[in-house]
Amino acid sequence: MSEILGKMEKPEAAQFKNERKLFFVPLIITPQEKDPIIAELSTKYWREVTEQLSNLESKLSPIKHVYHELLPASESVKHLEELGINSHSIVKTLITNGAIISAIEDDELMREFIDWNLCLSLHLQSQNVFSKIYDAFQEVVRRRYEYVAKSIDETLRGNESAVLFMREGHSIQFPSDIQIFYVAPPSLDALRRALRERQENYNKHECDNSISHECHEADPSQSEGNTEPLP
């Protein structure tokens, strides 16, 4: 079951008192190259996330567990800061307030996930090779999501609240008795749109460069060693 944040009043919240509650926060990872518009929107987004989590805690119960993707059991919250993931400040505050980090990542599965993802980003020439890599990637994604769901199920107790920081678009099947509360601050759509536009501009730039390179290769007047203009 999913609840829409902001439409829940205290009397309604009472029905979840003895339920397992999971606050889902979309993990928005912004590029490390500074873009003033994206940086401003990101700051606003995480500030609003903090406010909405505080609102949920006041209506339901304090957060006991922090679940965070890309944070293996072998690392601390400082790892998030080193990766440039802006959720680290909220996680530090939650820990100060009594929450604990409960790992949802298996170290080896996460390494496989990252490596296969990197393989998919290569400019592969063979469709057969691409298909094999894609199948391997999908298999490790399935195993990873199963591990995440199992880890949450084993650590979240009957009347506790927890927060999950994870990118959207996942296919995790949460246990049916966990109530999911989706945290969607007003600035989320604007931040998504700014990131999408940045990616589209980057793709266009790469495409233009590729076309220019092909034209350069095809033009003998631009070939190395030929400095004479065409007649």
What size, in residues, is the chain? Answer: 231
For the chain, the domains span: 2-186
pTM: 0.81
Residue 34: band (very low, low, confident or very high) from pLDDT cuts 50, 70, 90: confident
Q: Tell me: the pLDDT tens digits for 150-191?
A: 999 999 998 999 999 999 988 899 999 999 999 999 999 999
Q: Give one DSSP letter per residue of 81-101, joined into a string.
A: HHHT-TTHHHHHHHHHTT-EE
The whole-angstrom separation of Cα 147 and Cα 71 is: 14
Asked if residue 83 lies in contact with residue 120, where contact means CB atoms within 8 angstroms, the answer is: no
Starting at the earlier edge strand, list the strands of the sheet with 20-26. 2-4, 178-182, 20-26, 161-166, 63-68, 100-101
191-202 average pLDDT score: 86
The whole-angstrom separation of Cα 42 and Cα 131 is: 35
pLDDT score recorded for residue 112: 95
Asked if residue 65 lies in contact with residue 159, where contact means CB atoms within 8 angstroms, the answer is: no
* Token pair recorded at residue 209: 């460069």
Residue 203: band (very low, low, confident or very high) from pLDDT cuts 50, 70, 90: confident
pLDDT score recorded for residue 176: 92
The whole-angstrom separation of Cα 13 and Cα 171 is: 27
Share of the chain above pLDDT 70, in %: 83
Residue 10: band (very low, low, confident or very high) from pLDDT cuts 50, 70, 90: low
- Residue predicted with more confidence, 91 or 227: 91
Q: Tell me: the pLDDT tens digits for 67-122?
A: 999 988 777 788 888 888 889 999 999 999 999 999 999 999 999 999 999 999 99
The whole-angstrom separation of Cα 92 and Cα 38 is: 23
The DSSP element (H or E) to which 52 belongs, if any, is helix 36-59
- Residue predicted with more confidence, 218 or 84: 84
Q: In Å, what is the CA distance from 202 to each residue of 37, 57, 195, 209, 216?
A: 16, 40, 11, 11, 21
**Pairing of the two strands 178-182 and 63-68:** unpaired
The whole-angstrom separation of Cα 17 and Cα 160 is: 9
